[in-house]
Amino acid sequence: MPLSECSQCKIFIVDDDDQQANLMQAMAKTIELETNIFTSSIEFLSAPVTANDIVILDLQMPDKDGIEIMRELATQNIKPYFILVSGFDERVLHSAKQLAETKQLNVVSTLSKPFKAKEFIALLKQTHAECIESFSQQDNTPPDIESNPENATIEELKLALRKHQLEVYFQPQICINSSDLKGAEVLVRWQHPTRGLLLPEYFIPLAEKHQLMNLLTEEILMLAIKEYKKVLANNLDIKISINLSAQNISDLSMPEKLEALIKSNNIDPGSIVLEITESALMDKVSDSLDILNRLRMKGFALSIDDFGTGYSSLVKLYQAPFTELKIDRHFISRLATDPDASAIVRICILLAKELNLKTAAEGVDSQEIMDKLRTMGCHIAQGEFIAQPMLTDDFISWVNNR
């Protein structure tokens, strides 16, 4: 069957330059793909575009520019595959792609004009194949309660804490140079009796909104220590990383509570790494520095999480007594394909080295990314390429079977 007969994936070319649009259409025909040309943004926005389609979008349109087009489609929850093109500035293309991602739009690639026919044809052919594959899988994909649960209520969450419905998972962290296991991040899941397994994004905001984070964190800490003791009992001498929220580091009694918990369980505080995001440090700086310094003096290690995504990264890094810098997955996942992301990761690692901090990378999903991190001098890697988060017994088995 000719590719042009795959009507479930339409291709739109949106470019006010007739000559350029016709050239792209001719290129598409060489691989038997039919296209629809629009030289007006207004007319294109009236077209029947769906999530199964491909839109080759010139950012510099005279009536509504490419940014406005993406914004309107996102508002209508229409999210096709985008290929962004522009002859203006590569940095604008790069930034437009980042903007699209914040709106959960799928930008497959960007192209600077003039581009080579071979490059365009290969990209369009690959994108079309992905589009067809995605379409064919839609009807065969079972509903996933984890990806689209109904909104849980605060009453359900309070009940979950009373009935201990939360579970902790361990995601391994390895030394990049030696591949030795160095630790694991503790991740929480809610095993809901009717909704199934819920990820943190479906209940952490609820806890934050209703000032329930301290109770939630206490439950997670107790669960984490309980499961960590099982790990230690299996002769696995590793550290574990536990996340703290903004509400936790405004609770001046947190250091003493945490110290009492680990002492009662005979745990070395040096084996606990507390991860704090940059955004959590934005409010009540005095209180947060008070708490972080006391935690360090009690022997806990501190990691600044999601580094590079906050508004005052360097100030927080300068003020607080961190021992580790954890580079955000937003940059790590793009390390192999985006020169700008690669530059940011390299600078973060150099900065950490100057400040005598360990560096950790989250979101490592390929050997290529591992190799680049090794070359850059990053210490610790965590991500799906290494292992998915696991329940305690599965984690212990994974370690023993490596």
Q: How many CB atoms lie within 10 A of CB 75?
A: 9
Intrachain domains 3-138 and 154-400 with the same fold: no
pLDDT digits (tens, 9 = 90+) for 13-40: 999 999 999 999 999 999 999 999 999 9
Architecture of domain 154-400: Alpha-Beta Barrel (3.20)
Token duo for residue 73: 């489609």
Domain ranges in the chain? 3-138, 154-400
Determine the pLDDT at residue 247: 82
Tell me the per-residue pLDDT of 88-145, one tens digit each, with 9 for 90 and over: 778 888 888 888 888 889 999 999 988 999 999 999 999 998 888 777 665 544 444 3
- Spatial separation of the C-alpha atoms in residues 257 and 294, rounded to whole Å: 12
Which class for 264: exposed (0-12), middle (13-18), buried (19 or more C-beta within 10 A)?
Answer: exposed
144: which 2 tokens? 């996933």
The CATH H-level (homologous superfamily) assignment of domain 3-138 is Response regulator (3.40.50.2300)
**Cα separation of 257 and 267, whole Å?**
14
DSSP state of 390: B
- pLDDT tens-digit map of 300-320: 999 988 786 655 567 778 888
